Amino acid sequence: MRQLLSAKHNIQLSIMEAFLAKNEIAIEELEALTGASKQTIRTYIDEIEQSTDFFVIQRGMGTYFLKRNNRTTYSTIYRYFYQESIHLRLIEYIFLNPFSQTKDIVEHFGISRSQFNQLRHNLKHICKLYDFSLSDSPFKLQGDYHTICAFYIPYMLEKYDRTDEFISTEENKVLDQLLLSFTNLPHRGGIQDHQRLKVWLWVTIKLSKHFPEYLNHGFSEADNDHFVLSHQQFEEAFSVKFPGFINSALSELYYYMEQDVASPELINKKKAALTFAQNLFDLLGGRVPFTNSRVLDTTLSLYKNRNYILNNQKQRFVQNFFEQNSCFPETVAQALQQEFLRYRAALDNDSLFFELLYSLIVNETTLTQLVMDNQLKKKVGVLYAYDKDHSELFSYQLNNSFTNNLAFEVIDYDLFCDAKASLEGFDFIITSLTTIKRDNCVVTDIFPTVADIRYLNELVNHSIQQDFEQGLKQALVGPLPDN
């Protein structure tokens, strides 16, 4: 959420996201996008270039070009702001150091008390947006335990590439023991992957120090059967006793991953997800009932408010998946868009909508394969004024390059006589004959250049995918139509 960033960082982030989306952009566009002056934009771009090794800009006549390398990604730029933003660093410091005094924080960050008072005021407002709160000095986090966990889990996953960047060696050993207790659970969408589950356990344990009243409260040890580990090793690594609250909290997590959803609200959302999945099966010709309902339960049970802080990866994943698999027949494309709209309206929560859709795409491989199998291939005629072997060589290359949506077929030049009659059966033509003048025709040299192939790709995308992509974007992120 952008409230976590300063005004300056907000503008810089908007600039970087704009370059990732377009690669080439005019300074006037950045001015309109950010509301900042041209001079401010130039200054901020210079600052980003100087402080990173992944953001390099080439300047043209009023236009800027992003020179990408293998680290120029959305995740990289968000991690950059996690390091640069004092608000984000402060909220992590308080999480890891509960009951810190004002003097501790002022000394750690090298700021004045007046600066800290302003930061504290902003931080309290930010916490409120996520449905928890920050106490006065000594500082601790307050509110619903699971809601606070749901904030710090994506925080740690977005900021760090590897868990060993913030989990100590001793903690890792204990967590590896705990993870063994979860391996017997059925595979579920949500947090069953190793790294995410480890972070979930670690955040749950670390957060407990903000609630000493829980740690000192008596708890039943009946659930101890789930976890086999050394209590002494656990206490030495985390400075918290395992029997009691920690055992109860982790047992609750285990229960959520083991059981189906139970509350009426979640059952209704699960029904909406199951209806959506079955409709997709039917629409794409699956001819079988959707039975993998358990893939949805963990996602629903553990979902709390937003599932990301800055990096909305699940939404980008879903949008990119359907953009790259968007060559559907017109009737299927229109029906898909309507299904997305109905599903979004039924859930009434776009963040959960993308979380559940991501789980279906990743975990329900049959459904994913159906989407790919329903891709519509357009016929492209390959017609060159040379022998047939020449055209077949090129056709073979193109069929390997455009496996998703195009099928290339050689038109024998020796048998080619009537342009109109011979070309009617093809959606597109790629040829060396300059006398053929058709809107769906790409005329090239004896062997097409990279630019020719790029133009063919753009022509295909425009004619096949554009309508569905525009409708898809509207269905996924646009305003829902009034009932």
Which tokens go with 360?
Answer: 């279906």
Instruction: Report, as an integer, the average pLDDT of 448-466.
Output: 75
What single DSSP character describes residue 139?
B
411, 422 Cβ separation under 8 angstroms: yes
Q: Is residue 482 part of a domain?
A: no
**Torsions phi, psi of 136, nearest 5?**
-80, 170
CATH label of the domain that carries residue 48: 1.10.10.10
Q: Are residues 227 and 245 in the same domain?
A: yes
Single-letter code of the amino acid located at 154? P
Write out pLDDT tens, residues 289-327: 888 787 788 888 888 777 899 999 999 999 989 888 888
Kindly tell me if the per-residue pLDDT of 462 is higher than 80.
no
The pLDDT confidence band at residue 376, using thresholds 50, 70 and 90, is: confident
Strands (E), 167-232: none
Lowest mean pLDDT, pick from 29-33, 98-102, 132-136, 464-468: 464-468
Please indicate, yes or no, whether residues 169 and 244 belong to a single structural domain of this protein: yes
Question: If you average pLDDT over residues 241-250, what whole number do you get?
Answer: 90
**Of 138, 19, 143, 151, the residue nearest 76 (C-alpha):** 19
Q: Supply the pLDDT for residue 418.
A: 60
Kindly tell me if the per-residue pLDDT of 422 is higher than 80. Answer: no
Residue 45: what pLDDT? 94
Predicted pLDDT of residue 298: 81
- Taking residues 227-256, what's their average pLDDT? 90
Where residue 196 falls among pLDDT bands split at 50, 70, 90?
confident
Give residue-wise pLDDT tens across range 155-167.
999 999 899 999 9
pLDDT at 464: 61
Confidence of residue 209 (pLDDT cuts 50, 70, 90): very high
Residues 103 and 248 in one domain: yes
Q: Give CA–CA dist 10/216, Å, rounded.
A: 42
**In whole angstroms, what is the distance from residue 140 CA to residue 151 CA?**
15
Q: Is pLDDT above 70 for 364?
A: yes
pLDDT of residue 427: 83
Q: Which two tokens stand for residue 14?
A: 């908007």
**What CATH number did the domain enclosing 395 receive?**
3.40.50
Q: Which two tokens stand for residue 399?
A: 């069929």
Q: Report the DSSP pairing between strands 428-431 and 378-383.
A: parallel
Taking residues 473-482, what's their average pLDDT?
A: 85
Q: What whole-number percentage of the chain has pLDDT above 90?
A: 48
Q: Is residue 390 part of a domain?
A: yes
Which of 258, 277, 302 lies at the terminal end of a domain, its last residue? 258
Q: Which domain holds residue 236?
A: 84-258
Q: What is the mean pLDDT of residues 208-236?
A: 80
Q: Which of 198, 229, 258 is the last residue of a domain?
A: 258
pLDDT at 357: 93
Q: How confident is the model at residue 404 (pLDDT cuts 50, 70, 90)?
A: low
- pLDDT tens-digit profile of 256-265? 888 888 889 9
Q: For 471-480, b where at least 16 C-beta lie within 10 A, e where not — what string?
A: bbeebbeeee
Q: Give yes or no: residues 127 and 193 share one domain.
A: yes
Place of tokens 């130039």: 42
Amino acid (1-letter code) at residue 394: F
Neighbours of 193 (CB within 10 A): 10
Is the pLDDT score of 190 beyond 60? no
Number of folded domains that form the chain? 4
Q: Which helix (H) or strand (E) holds 64?
A: strand 63-67
Q: Are 232 and 254 in contact (CB under 8 A)?
A: no
Residue 381 pLDDT exceeds 70: yes
Q: Are residues 41 and 101 in the same domain?
A: no
The pLDDT of residue 71 is 81
Highest-confidence range of 206-210, 360-364, 398-402, by mean pLDDT?
206-210
Question: pLDDT at position 199, please?
Answer: 94
Does residue 98 have a cis bond before it (omega within 30 degrees)? Answer: no
**Has this prediction a pTM greater than 0.75?**
yes
37-95 per-position pLDDT tens digit: 999 999 999 999 999 989 999 988 778 989 887 788 999 999 999 999 999 999 999 99
Match 């190793």 to its residue by tokens.
Answer: 194
Helix H or strand E segment including 380 = strand 378-383
Same domain assignment for residues 283 and 430:
no
How many Å apart are CA 172 and CA 202, to the nearest integer? 9
Q: CA dist 214 to 144, 219, 248, 253, Å?
A: 12, 9, 10, 17
Q: 186 and 273 in one domain?
A: no
Residue 103 sits in the same domain as residue 249: yes
**Interval 19-26 mean pLDDT:** 90
Asked if the structure places residue 68 within a domain, the reply is: yes
- Kindly give the interhelix angle for 169-182 and 231-238, rounded to the nearest 10 degrees: 130
Residue 222 maps to a domain: yes
Contact predicate 271/347, CB 8 Å: no
Residue 464, domain member (yes or no): no
pLDDT given at position 93: 97
Q: What is the pLDDT of residue 224?
A: 52
Average pLDDT along the chain = 87
